[in-house]
Amino acid sequence: MKIYNQKTVISPDIQVLKSQQHTIGLVPTMGALHHGHLALVKKALHDNNYVVVSIFVNPTQFDNTNDLSKYPRTLNNDVELLKTLNENNRILVYAPSVDDIYEGDIISQDYKFGGIEFEMEGRFRKGHFDGVGTIVKRLFDILKPDKAYFGKKDFQQLQIVKALVRNYDMPVNIVGCEIHRESDGLAMSSRNARLTEEYRQAAPFIYKTLKTAKAKFGTESANKITEWVENQFAKHDLLKLEYFIIADIETLKPVKRKSNKKSYRAFIAVYADDIRLIDNIALN
Ligand code: PAF
């Protein structure tokens, strides 16, 4: 499996593949790969001739330096996992340095995504989506994928990337993939690797609460459900709720009055010690 660290080396190789009419799928990651990532890679291998997996912990999307410095970095292990899927040598890994991406200027561009950038993660993680927009656009410019794969655990990010592609008229098809969960329901995330045993045991409470919120959605108002969720976490010894919001999936604005013509999801962000976990669930 070929591992590239420089855009000036991977870019021409991709041009050659494209000139041979091969399609390219991109799975952008920050590494510490888990089965959720591998499911994206499998889907990308199914849909495309070649798949690039980018592994890059993007500094501009972190609003918290502690979170950035503690983010797990496990490149050797990631490469070993990808090798298990690389039967016909169709996976390329792009693991650039910060300098290869930012060329000495580690700043993000300012983006407008029609307002969805100010909700939820945008409200609690200032500048986060400018950082995501900057890296995703750069990866698309360097790697020129036909399709790019994103998990729905970061549902707001998925909507942001779709808006980015629309705004810049980029010829990339964005594919959203279902959330992968551990057997106890905890959404797979690279950050789970940082949970102590005690917090790991507690964390499935997040999805359990989302499932109950979904069950209540048919008969109770969004406000009442939100209050119920806030009470559940107020009573919890270990997990601290940052937000729980029931939102329209298009605008990502909190729902005031339900309409059966719209689709809604419940979104949650929780601190397990200093580890921030997010999750969401479709409600209708
Ligand atoms: O979801 C992630 O892992 C990151 O936000 C992404 C899309 C790879 C951009 O750094």
Residue-wise DSSP of the chain:
-EEE--HHHHHHHHHHHHHTT--EEEEEE-S---HHHHHHHHHHHHH-SEEEEEE---GGG-S-HHHHHHS---HHHHHHHHHTT-TTS-EEEE---HHHHHTT---------TTGGGSHHHHHSTTHHHHHHHHHHHHHHHH--SEEEEEGGGHHHHHHHHHHHHHTT---EEEEEPPPB-TTSPBP-GGGGG--HHHHHHTTHHHHHHHHHHHHHTTS-HHHHHHHHHHHHHT-SSEEEEEEEEEETTT-PBPSS--TTS-EEEEEEEEETTEEEEEEEE--
Which of residues 177, 201, 222 is at a domain's end? 177
How far does residue 125's CA lie from ligand 1's centre (Å)? Answer: 14
Asked if residue 253 and residue 172 are part of one domain, the reply reads no
Asked if residue 241 and residue 145 are part of one domain, the reply reads no
Asked if residue 197 and residue 170 are part of one domain, the reply reads no
Predicted local confidence at residue 59, as pLDDT = 98
Q: Is residue 85 a part of any domain in this protein?
A: yes
Q: Is residue 52 a part of any domain in this protein?
A: yes
Is residue 278 in contact with ligand 1, taking CB distance under 6 Å? no
User: Residue 170 and residue 51: Cα distance in Å, rounded?
Assistant: 18
Is residue 108 in contact with ligand 1, taking CB distance under 6 Å? no
Asked if residue 210 and residue 172 are part of one domain, the reply reads no
Q: Mean of the pLDDT values across residues 49-58?
A: 98
How far does residue 121's CA lie from ligand 1's centre (Å)? Answer: 13
37 labelled catalytic: yes
Asked if residue 254 and residue 126 are part of one domain, the reply reads no
Which of residues 177, 202, 227 is at a domain's end? 177
Predicted local confidence at residue 62, as pLDDT = 97
Residue whose CB lies within 8 A of the most ligand 1 atoms, among 154, 162, 191, 280, for a mutation test: 154
Q: Is residue 133 a part of any domain in this protein?
A: yes
pLDDT category of residue 284 using cuts at 50, 70 and 90: very high
At 96-109, the pLDDT tens digits run 999 999 999 999 99
Asked if residue 196 and residue 166 are part of one domain, the reply reads no
At 163-199, the pLDDT tens digits run 999 999 999 999 999 999 999 999 999 999 999 999 9
What is the residue range of 143's domain? Answer: 2-177
* Nearest alpha carbon, ligand 1 atom 2: 29
Q: Is residue 182 a part of any domain in this protein?
A: no
Asked if residue 217 and residue 165 are part of one domain, the reply reads no
Predicted local confidence at residue 149, as pLDDT = 99
Is residue 29 in contact with ligand 1, taking CB distance under 6 Å? yes
Residue whose CB lies within 8 A of the most ligand 1 atoms, among 132, 175, 192, for a mutation test: 132
Asked if residue 222 and residue 159 are part of one domain, the reply reads no
Domain with 230 in it: what CATH number? 3.30.1300.10
Query: Looking at 35, 37, 128, 236, which residue is catalytic?
Result: 37
Q: Is residue 183 a part of any domain in this protein?
A: no
Longest Cα separation, the chain: 60
Asked if residue 158 and residue 34 are part of one domain, the reply reads yes
* Nearest alpha carbon, ligand 1 atom 10: 58
* Nearest alpha carbon, ligand 1 atom 8: 29
Predicted local confidence at residue 208, as pLDDT = 98
Domain with 93 in it: what CATH number? 3.40.50.620
At 200-234, the pLDDT tens digits run 999 999 999 999 999 999 999 999 999 999 999 99
Asked if residue 71 and residue 125 are part of one domain, the reply reads yes
pLDDT category of residue 133 using cuts at 50, 70 and 90: very high
Predicted local confidence at residue 105, as pLDDT = 96
Strands 147-151 and 173-177: parallel
How far does residue 122's CA lie from ligand 1's centre (Å)? Answer: 15
Asked if residue 196 and residue 116 are part of one domain, the reply reads no
Predicted local confidence at residue 75, as pLDDT = 98
Q: Is residue 185 a part of any domain in this protein?
A: no
Split into its structural domains, the chain has a count of 2
Q: Is residue 184 a part of any domain in this protein?
A: no
Asked if residue 244 and residue 221 are part of one domain, the reply reads yes
At 24-50, the pLDDT tens digits run 999 999 999 999 999 999 999 999 999
* Nearest alpha carbon, ligand 1 atom 5: 132
Predicted local confidence at residue 258, as pLDDT = 92
